């Protein structure tokens, strides 16, 4: 597959909850080996879009192709296919408290791939090293780690099965700006090392600029703009401009309850 072959193709994707139509016809291509960041305000449907692509949520309408396979039927085999192909860094890290750090990193290797513990542990320690964590960290419980370390562990877990596609859900939420930059650098470094395709969602513009080859903005259920991190500074789109510069005034109206 060439670099211009889409790894992910989303067409006319719709998803709603009762009367709340969240996605209203999303079209999106992510080319192989590229890093796309989806930005958008709170509640615009970034997580819903990501969940539909990963196979955690069934779309109402539209199609999603991943490496040429249509996964929008949301069958068990579609979900298995996505699990094998992808790695995910969840917002809030989502580590299992009852497992040691290395067991978290090796979770899929131990459970889905049924690797022997010794082999899985070695791979976990190797992945921890790739995100700058010493082997001793592997024997700690997640609760003993800072938020930044937990993000690193979550990144190590995401890459442990050498995935073709990586998903990052708000990877820098809750981190100070320096640790956020460390995580952004690690993401760029690991995505490149794996030659993976990456899709991230965030409202952290510093993170988006750093990890994206391209940025797409979701607004009112559709992708309204797409371009490079350089182009976003002068997008010529008033919604994008307001979001990027964090202005309360502009075409995007936030619901604010007045007391």
Q: Which residues bind ligand ATP (CB under 6 A)?
A: 17, 20, 22, 40, 42-48, 203
CB of 254 to ligand ATP, least distance (A): 11
Integer Cα distance of 51 and 60 in angstroms: 13
Burial code (b: 16+ CB inside 10 Å, e: under 16) for 157-168 equals bbbbbebbbbbb
CB of 231 to ligand ATP, least distance (A): 22
CA angle 241, 244, 249 (to 5 degrees): 60
CB of 14 to ligand ATP, least distance (A): 13
Integer Cα distance of 220 and 138 in angstroms: 43
| Token pair belonging to 56 | 């955690």
Which stretch of DSSP H or E encloses residue 30? Answer: strand 20-31
CB of 22 to ligand ATP, least distance (A): 4
Q: How far apart are the first and last CA of the chain?
A: 57
The nearer residue to ligand ATP, 90 or 99, going by C-beta atoms, is 90
CB of 64 to ligand ATP, least distance (A): 16
The nearer residue to ligand ATP, 89 or 137, going by C-beta atoms, is 89
Integer Cα distance of 24 and 61 in angstroms: 9
- Among residues 9, 6, 10, the alpha carbon closest in space to that of 222 is found at 10
The nearer residue to ligand ATP, 47 or 83, going by C-beta atoms, is 47
The nearer residue to ligand ATP, 100 or 203, going by C-beta atoms, is 203
The nearer residue to ligand ATP, 21 or 141, going by C-beta atoms, is 21
């Amino acid at each position: 597959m060439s670099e211009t072959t889409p790894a992910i193709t989303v067409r006319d994707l719709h998803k709603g909850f009762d009367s709340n139509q969240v996605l209203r016809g999303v079209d999106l291509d992510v080319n192989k080996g590229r890093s796309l960041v989806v930005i958008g305000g709170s509640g615009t449907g970034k997580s819903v879009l990501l969940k539909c692509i990963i196979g955690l949520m069934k779309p109402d309408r539209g199609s999603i192709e991943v490496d040429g396979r249509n996964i929008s039927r949301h069958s068990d085999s579609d979900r298995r296919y996505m699990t094998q192909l992808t790695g995910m860094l969840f917002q809030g890290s989502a580590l299992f408290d009852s497992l040691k750090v290395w067991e978290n990193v090796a979770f899929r290797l131990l459970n889905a791939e049924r690797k022997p513990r010794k082999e899985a542990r070695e791979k976990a320690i190797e992945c921890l090293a790739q995100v700058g964590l010493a082997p001793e960290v592997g024997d700690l419980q997640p609760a003993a780690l800072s938020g930044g370390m937990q993000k690193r562990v979550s990144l190590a877990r995401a890459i442990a099965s050498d995935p073709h596609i990586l998903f990052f859900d708000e990877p820098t939420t809750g981190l100070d700006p320096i640790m956020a930059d460390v995580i952004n650098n690690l993401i760029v470094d690991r995505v490149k090392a794996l030659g993976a395709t990456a899709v991230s969602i965030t409202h952290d513009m510093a993170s988006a600029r750093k990890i994206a080859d391209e940025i797409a903005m979701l607004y009112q259920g559709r992708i309204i703009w797409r371009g490079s991190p350089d182009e976003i500074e002068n997008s010529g789109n008033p919604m994008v401009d307001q979001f990027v510069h964090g202005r309360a005034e502009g075409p995007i109206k936030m619901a604010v309850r007045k007391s």
